[in-house]
């Protein structure tokens, strides 16, 4: 019987890689102290982030939170915490920045004449439904703004908290456009707990897919990141379980280890899987031309070489066999309208107005 992975001993202790812009670093003579959760308020004046990367299919995103208590070892957003003068390791997991004015800022952005009702993605950076959302409700209030303006929305999350907002999601689905993608990179719950310790189990996330689908929300799954040698063997099971739960589309992608993530992920991997870590890192390099990361546009979201080709073929074949499509696109023309703007009348509506 396979042994369970060891729980990373540094999970709730101060453990950050060397900061790129700090001239000094700290080395603990004894065990690092425990790191409690800290919450900071952000005084941002805008909320819409514009993406210019050709690898990303959307232009605008909303991130009500920075940092994430899901604590996924592979999270590509970890380097962004250094812009706040925090660390990319345990600081990212335990020092969370929230934007309390996010809903008001989003409404103000929608009121500008320059806004044309493009798709808004929640979130492009950290999970918009991480545990703090259960209390702060920033994402829900932002989605209510989108519903008021009938602005198309796409959401990606690992959290079950989204089930609370099915009513708002249905309003958006009815009057605008709303799809939800549940990220499920692992099927094995023990492996998932070691690498993404703050996330509900994969089996619980399948239940979220089911509840959203049964309610009438368009829902899909993202098998990402795929980590060769660690969870590529789970990918087909994830797709099959997601399809059975009601998912209608699926995507996948390879793990990215930009900047300090190339320190955080291998450390967590070795703590949890000491006998397997070298093999995993070797296979990852095989899929990145000998490196741990490839930052080039067009390459950073996917692997290369025969090892990755085998994984991609396996996942894509399973996806097509199950009838899982690609992610649906937002409608054109947009459904967007400002609340004080009369809805254009067409057909019989004009007749009723004429003789009313």
pLDDT band at 347; cut points 50, 70, 90: very low
Q: Does the structure show a pLDDT above 60 at 269?
A: yes
CB atoms inside a 10 Å sphere around CB 214: 12
Would you call 96 helix, strand, or coil by DSSP? strand
CA-wise closest residue to 261 among 13, 70, 83, 16: 16
Average pLDDT score over residue span 171-178: 96
Provide the residue ranges of all domains of the chain, joining segments of one domain with +: 38-326
Average pLDDT for the chain: 91
Distance CA 288, CA 19 (A): 25
Distance CA 189, CA 4 (A): 10
Please enumerate in sequence order all residues whose Cβ is within 8 A of that of 306, keeping only pairs 6 or more positions apart, or say none.
none
Q: Does the structure show a pLDDT above 50 at 355?
A: no
Handedness of CA 235, 237, 243, 246 (dihedral sign): negative
Whether residue 14 contacts residue 86, with contact meaning beta carbons closer than 8 Å, is answered with no
More confident position, 196 or 293: 196
Whether residue 321 contacts residue 236, with contact meaning beta carbons closer than 8 Å, is answered with no
Would you call 92 helix, strand, or coil by DSSP? helix
Whether residue 184 contacts residue 222, with contact meaning beta carbons closer than 8 Å, is answered with yes
pLDDT band at 8; cut points 50, 70, 90: low
Distance CA 138, CA 64 (A): 6
Distance CA 212, CA 167 (A): 10
Q: Does the structure show a pLDDT above 60 at 258?
A: yes
Q: Does the structure show a pLDDT above 80 at 10?
A: no
Each residue's pLDDT tens digit, 227-245: 999 999 999 999 999 999 9
**Tokens for 161?**
């908290």
Q: What pLDDT, on a 0 to 100 scale, did the predictor assign at position 351?
A: 45
| CATH topology for the 38-326 domain | TIM Barrel (3.20.20)
Q: What pLDDT, on a 0 to 100 scale, did the predictor assign at position 138?
A: 98
Number of helical (H) and strand (E) elements in the chain, helices listed first: 12, 10
| Percent of the chain clearing pLDDT 90 (strictly above) | 77
DSSP tag of 13? B
Q: Does the structure show a pLDDT above 70 at 75?
A: yes
Q: Does the structure show a pLDDT above 80 at 331?
A: yes
Distance CA 126, CA 195 (A): 16
Each residue's pLDDT tens digit, 15-54: 999 888 887 777 877 888 899 999 999 999 999 999 888 7
């Amino acid at each position: 019987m396979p042994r369970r992975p060891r729980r990373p001993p540094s999970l709730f202790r101060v453990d950050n890689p060397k900061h790129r812009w700090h001239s000094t670093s700290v080395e603990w003579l004894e065990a690092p102290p425990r790191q409690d959760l800290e919450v900071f308020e952000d005084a941002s004046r805008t909320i819409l982030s514009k993406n210019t990367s050709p690898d990303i299919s959307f232009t605008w995103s909303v991130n009500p939170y920075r940092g994430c208590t899901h604590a996924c070892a592979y999270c590509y957003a970890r380097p962004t915490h250094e812009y706040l003068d925090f660390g990319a390791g345990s600081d990212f997991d335990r020092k969370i920045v929230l934007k309390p004015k996010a809903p008001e800022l989003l409404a103000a952005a929608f009121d500008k004449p320059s806004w044309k009702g493009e798709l808004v993605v929640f979130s492009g950076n950290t999970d918009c439904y991480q545990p703090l959302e259960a209390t702060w409700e920033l994402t829900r209030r932002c989605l209510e703004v989108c519903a008021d303006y009938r602005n198309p929305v796409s959401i990606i999350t690992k959290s079950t908290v989204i089930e609370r907002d099915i009513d708002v999601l249905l309003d958006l689905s009815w009057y605008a456009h709303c799809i939800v993608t549940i990220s499920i990179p692992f099927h094995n719950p023990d492996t998932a707990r070691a690498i993404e310790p703050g996330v509900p189990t994969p089996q619980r996330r399948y239940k979220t897919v089911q509840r959203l689908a049964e309610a009438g929300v368009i829902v899909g799954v993202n098998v990402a990141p795929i980590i060769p040698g660690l969870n590529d063997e789970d990918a087909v099971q994830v797709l099959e379980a997601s399809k059975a739960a009601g998912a209608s589309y699926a995507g996948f992608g390879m793990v990215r280890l930009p900047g300090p993530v190339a320190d955080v992920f291998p450390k967590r991997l070795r703590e949890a899987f000491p006998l397997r870590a070298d093999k995993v890192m070797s296979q990852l390099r095989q899929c990145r031309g000998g490196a741990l990361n490839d930052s080039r546009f067009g390459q950073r979201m996917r692997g290369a070489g025969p090892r990755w080709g085998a994984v991609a073929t396996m996942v894509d074949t399973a996806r097509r066999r199950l009838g899982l499509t690609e992610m649906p696109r937002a409608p054109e023309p947009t459904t967007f309208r400002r609340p004080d703007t009369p809805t254009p009348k067409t057909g019989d509506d004009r007749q009723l107005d004429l003789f009313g």
